[in-house]
């Protein structure tokens, strides 16, 4: 078997590659369940059937998919602009922290206006944290991968300082958490008996807005060109510095919004467990979705199935919590491997035996 360069990239494999990667991931998952002595049918059931078998389960699936989708949309702008923001998790945390700070200001007399203020604080917090990376890259040419990644740990320490210190609930039995936010600060839910909030509506609006921005506006065109071909963009008069700042601020704002929706929605307070790995998982979501707004929707749902399936596998099958990360990592590595078929084709070559070798 040999890899042969295609005359031009394959449009078919560009979209078929994620499906092949998913099939390979499932096949490896079956082998993994067998190696661990678990029934592979039950294993696949908890990952792919349990999360969608009832209206309540679908609601929980959407709760998980909402932050993944919002963060991945912002990351898609970054990666299309050739800006490698790996620190969306930190921007998510700072957005949650800023939103929580506003929520803590509410009391019994506060009106519903506090909800837009909470969301705005989350967006601004995430943008400010991403702005640090943009500033260091712009002024000092610092590597945005390292800077954004290291800032994740700084954000975690800031969160821990606040919940262990100034914002710790004095009536919380010494647990490191803030008081539960007032009911008026809660993100409105779509329906009674479900934890799904209007955040999913905001996420879908973001899908439409990003599609229009990327494919129907001049600004979106300049953003992509500035990232993918800096020399050509400078010749055309586009600003690569502007592309850097726009990409990181959009991505940071999206991550911050996701953080605000989490703490003022399903969580309802600040705790050390706000970082849930959504910022890192959203990187996989963005690439599996081919950095396309519509594709990201489906990959966010798939990734949320892995989250819920991992939790169910832990409680029902006795598997470790890390099984979620295993499936996420398998999907990413298989996607990278299958993407080889976009630029190369597999050819079966007949081995040539020389006359000397035949003798």
pLDDT digits (tens, 9 = 90+) for 256-314: 999 999 999 999 999 999 998 999 999 999 999 999 999 999 999 999 999 999 989 98
Q: Minimal CA–CA distance to 122: which of 93, 160, 151, 90?
A: 93
> Average pLDDT for residues 43-66, to the nearest whole number?
93
pTM exceeds 0.95: no
Lowest mean pLDDT among 48-57, 118-127, 344-353: 344-353
Lowest mean pLDDT among 27-36, 114-123, 235-244, 272-281: 235-244
Is the sign of the CA dihedral 81, 86, 87, 89 positive or negative?
A: positive
The whole-number pLDDT of residue 95 equals 98
The H-assigned helical ranges of the chain are 11-35, 40-48, 55-80, 88-103, 114-140, 144-164, 199-216, 218-228, 230-235, 240-262, 278-288, 293-316, 323-338, 340-343, 355-358
169 vs 172: CA distance, rounded Å: 5
Q: Which residue has the higher pLDDT, 359 or 120?
A: 120
Q: Can you list the pairs that 201-204 forms with residues at least 24 positions away whose Cβ atoms lie under 8 Å? A: 202/70, 202/257, 202/261, 203/65, 203/66, 203/69, 203/70, 203/73, 204/297
> Average pLDDT for residues 54-65, to the nearest whole number?
93
Buried b (16+ CB within 10 A) or exposed e, 55-82: eeeebbbbbbbbbbbbbbbbbbbbbbbb
The whole-number pLDDT of residue 188 equals 93
Beta bridge partners of 2: 347
Token pair 């839910």 in the structure block, residue: 189
The whole-number pLDDT of residue 322 equals 87
The whole-number pLDDT of residue 164 equals 96
The whole-number pLDDT of residue 113 equals 94
> Average pLDDT for residues 205-228, to the nearest whole number?
91
The whole-number pLDDT of residue 354 equals 60
The whole-number pLDDT of residue 230 equals 74
pLDDT exceeds 90 at position 356: no
202 vs 350: CA distance, rounded Å: 56
Give 353's pLDDT tier (boundaries 50, 70, 90).
Answer: low
> Average pLDDT for residues 166-181, to the nearest whole number?
93
Q: Which residue has the higher pLDDT, 194 or 204?
A: 204
92 vs 217: CA distance, rounded Å: 28
pLDDT exceeds 90 at position 238: no
The whole-number pLDDT of residue 359 equals 47
pLDDT exceeds 80 at position 187: yes
The whole-number pLDDT of residue 357 equals 52
Q: 2 φ, ψ to 5°?
A: -130, 150
> Average pLDDT for residues 222-248, to the nearest whole number?
84
74 vs 155: CA distance, rounded Å: 19
70 vs 33: CA distance, rounded Å: 32
> Average pLDDT for residues 196-221, to the nearest whole number?
95
Beta bridge partners of 189: 197
Give 1's pLDDT tier (boundaries 50, 70, 90).
Answer: confident
pLDDT exceeds 80 at position 234: no
pLDDT exceeds 90 at position 235: no
Cβ-count burial of 49 within 10 angstroms (0-12 exposed, 13-18 middle, 19+ buried)?
middle
Lowest mean pLDDT among 42-46, 239-243, 244-248: 239-243
> Average pLDDT for residues 162-167, to the nearest whole number?
96
The DSSP 8-state label assigned to residue 183 in this structure reads G
pLDDT exceeds 80 at position 233: no
At 87-145, the pLDDT tens digits run 999 999 999 999 999 999 999 899 999 999 999 999 999 999 999 999 999 999 999 99
Q: Minimal CA–CA distance to 210: which of 71, 347, 111, 341?
A: 71
Residues of the chain above pLDDT 90, percent: 80
The whole-number pLDDT of residue 231 equals 73
């Amino acid at each position: 078997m040999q890899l042969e360069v295609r005359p031009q990239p394959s449009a078919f494999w560009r979209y078929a590659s994620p499906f092949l990667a998913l099939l390979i991931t499932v096949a490896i998952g079956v082998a993994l369940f067998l190696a661990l002595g678990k029934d592979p049918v039950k294993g696949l059931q908890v990952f792919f059937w349990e999360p969608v078998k009832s209206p309540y389960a679908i609601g929980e699936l959407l709760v998980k998919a909402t932050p993944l989708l919002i963060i991945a949309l912002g990351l898609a702008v970054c990666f299309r602009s050739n800006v490698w923001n790996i620190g969306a998790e930190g921007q998510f945390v700072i957005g949650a922290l800023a939103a929580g700070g506003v929520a803590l200001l509410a009391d019994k007399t506060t009106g519903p206006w506090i909800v837009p203020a909470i969301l705005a604080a989350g967006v601004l917090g995430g943008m400010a944290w991403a702005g640090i990376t943009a500033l260091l890259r712009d002024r000092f040419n610092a590597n945005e991968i390292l800077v954004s990644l290291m800032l994740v740990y700084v954000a975690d320490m800031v969160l821990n300082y606040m919940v262990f210190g100034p914002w710790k609930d004095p009536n919380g039995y010494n647990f490191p958490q803030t008081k539960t936010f007032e009911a008026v600060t809660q993100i409105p839910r779509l329906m009674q008996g479900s934890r799904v909030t209007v955040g999913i509506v905001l996420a879908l609006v973001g899908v439409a807005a990003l599609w229009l921005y990327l494919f129907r506006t001049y600004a979106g065109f300049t953003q992509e060109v500035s990232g993918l071909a800096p020399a050509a963009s400078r010749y055309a008069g586009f600003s690569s510095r502007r592309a850097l700042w726009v990409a990181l601020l959009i991505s940071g704002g999206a991550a911050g919004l996701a953080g605000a929706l989490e703490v003022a929605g399903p969580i309802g307070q600040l705790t050390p467990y706000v970082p849930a790995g959504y910022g890192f998982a959203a990187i996989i979501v963005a690439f599996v979705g081919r950095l396309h707004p519509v594709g990201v929707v489906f990959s966010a749902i798939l990734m949320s199935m892995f989250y819920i399936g991992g939790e169910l596998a832990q409680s029902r099958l006795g598997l470790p919590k890390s099984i979620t990360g295993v499936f996420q990592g398998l999907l990413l590595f298989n996607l990278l491997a299958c993407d080889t078929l976009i630029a190369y084709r597999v050819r079966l070559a007949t081995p040539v035996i020389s006359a000397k070798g035949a003798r």
